[in-house]
Amino acid sequence: PLTDSEREKGEEQGCVMVQDEETLLLKAPQESQNMRAAERGVSQSIHKFSFSKIFGPETTQQQFYEDTMKKMVADVLKGEN
């Protein structure tokens, strides 16, 4: 949660943005050292990270298991590694 000071400065928590199912963007907070460096052209204010899949908050445990672990567990139970 934002502190009172952050709210007074008009900051927001929109620093994590899902671009698509595989890409996550992190935006530096407005008052951070990273943002000030970006304004001077020394750094970037947004960093991009790629993953094989990004799961949203609406993802159920069942969906997560089936998409990530189900095949691996089946292989282990068959004696494969």
Rounded to 5 degrees, what angle do the CA atoms 15, 18, 24 make? 80
Q: How far is 78 from 70, CA to CA, in rounded Å?
A: 12
- Ordered by start, the domain boundaries in the chain are 1-50, 55-81
Reduce the DSSP state of residue 26 to 3 states and report it: strand
The CA distance from 12 to 35, in Å, is: 14
pLDDT in tens, 42-76: 667 788 999 999 998 899 999 999 999 999 999 99
CB of 66 within 8 A of CB of 75? no
Write the pLDDT tens digit of every residue in 19-36: 999 999 988 776 677 667
